[in-house]
Structure 1
């Protein structure tokens, strides 16, 4: 017997309507910056509003009311969690940008040398900040003279390693495995930052 919509959904990884909706959401997020690269910021807002209206219209047409309600609840939950962290992160980044001496950043993490990437990796390996605050933090350091390679090294290391992370891994898996993990991340981050800075973003 032919299956209904529920069975069609189960037969694949993702339903076609959901895939189209996901694509429209991605387009609505990328379109403003790609379509409007010059002129007043209001043009980007206008493009975003048009794209978001298309997303909303398609969602209303293809989704049940209960699904839309859950979607909005999940969206609001993320906004409540992420937005305060983002504001706090931007504030902390602003303070750091005003306090850190530019000469120090240029001396230790300027350029794209392997040692500069190593210093950036070590900074990322002991720091503990949320993903939402990491990008503004790295952007601030680049404004103070950090090279592109060390910036990549810091972005690679930060999410997977921190001082509390060291302690947690050591307690659960033992000191030897924790040391191997930390050394591996630091080495890979340093080499990746050096390679990207010298051969890809140079």
Structure 2
């Protein structure tokens, strides 16, 4: 594309590929053809619901397929071997980075956490993985970019990784291995031969993972989009501003605590966050809410409570909540830069 500025190409990719503005315009036109005003309250609710659902499902399927194909080259045994080469804080860095290419929800990260722990990896490294896996992944990077732009997406990813690295490092320094359940502290399994897969087998694996993930998260996408559509079109901006606006110094803390009981992954949290943001909620408050929803869901904490003892659970929760709140206030302060 000679003569076309790179900025124009980037804008096109962001607006038409990630944000899918063409889809928004198409849905508005179709609703108009049916006599429904997409700018009205009911029409706007319907437009938001259809547009966000189709956009998120499309991105979900494309991203999960691509990432699953990549993951087929890194089964748990190979990942364990890679992570085992790094010591100290570098192990935490690798653990956090590995979490970015692993499952999309906290519940599916816990079995890998158990496997890595039983394999003899340092506790801090496994917790860096456990924190980053649901909070920061390639899917969230693309989805956040599609809503808030590349600057916010990159900043969110960096902060999420820093929380994961810091949390794992602190847990390691506290020497809390004795607070693991006994069955998790078993002997490391013997090395197994890595499965050699053909390209066709990897594609089949990626399709299977995509379909499995879609079936698991689609109900939560619908729920999240429904909540987002309701917030976007029916709750007055003044109400949102009163509770989660800059005038409330505890807005970030409140958003973090409110987000924890909600069970959703990035794909379900995005439409709620989008609606809150466009109603005037601070960027940091919205991102703290997203981090809490994806990392501290009740089902995942219930599963985790069977693996770690109460003292370690409280430490894990405290570190995550403090990290999310700090990042929320920092993002709110820096919001003018984005």
TM-score, normalised via structure 1 length: 0.57
Q: CA RMSD in A?
A: 3.8
d(CA) in 1 for partners of 2:310, 2:286: 29
Contact 1:113 1:194 in 2 (8 A): no
**Separation (CA, whole Å) in 1 of partners of 2:252 and 2:317:** 15
Q: Which moved more, 1:178-187 or 1:91-100?
A: 91-100
Gaps of 5+ in 1: 1-29, 46-63
Higher-Rg member (1/2): 1
Superposed, which structure 2 residues align to 1:12-161 within 5 Å? 32-34=12-14, 41=22, 66=200, 70=204, 73-74=207-208, 77=211, 80-81=214-215, 85-97=220-232, 100=235, 102-111=237-246, 115-161=250-296
Q: For the residues of structure 2 that align with 1:66 and 1:183, how far apart are their CA atoms?
A: 45
Query: Do the aligned partners of 1:128 and 1:162 also contact (CA within 8 Å) in 2?
Result: yes
**CA pair 78-163 structure 1, distance change in 2 beyond 3 A:** closer
Match of residue 197 from structure 1: 332
CA distance in 1, matches of 2:299, 2:210: 30
Relative to structure 1, the CA distance from residue 35 to residue 41 in structure 2 (aligned partners, 3 Å threshold; closer, same or farther) is closer
Match of 1:18 in 2: none
Which residue number corresponds to residue 188 of structure 1? Answer: 323
For 1:78 and 1:169, how far apart are their aligned partners in 2?
Answer: 22
1:33-65, Cα deviation, whole Å (9 max, x unpaired): 34869xx838x99xxxxxxxxxxxxxxxxxx98
The equivalent of 2:299 in structure 1 is 164
Is the Cα–Cα contact under 8 Å of residues 285 and 332 in structure 2 kept in the other structure?
Answer: yes
Indicate conservation of the 8 Å contact 2:237/2:280, yes or no.
yes
In the superposition, the TM-score normalised over structure 2's length comes to: 0.37
Q: Which runs of 4+ in 1 moved over 6 A?
A: none
Q: CA deviation at 1:161?
A: 0.6
CA distance in 2, matches of 1:117, 1:185: 13
CA distance in 1, matches of 2:279, 2:15: 30
Between 76-85 and 128-137, report the one with greater CA deviation.
76-85
Whole-angstrom distance in 2 between the partners of 1:93 and 1:32: 26
Q: Which sections of structure 2, spanning at least 5 residues, go unmatched? A: 1-9, 27-197
Conserved in 2, the CA contact under 8 Å of 1:109 and 1:116?
A: yes
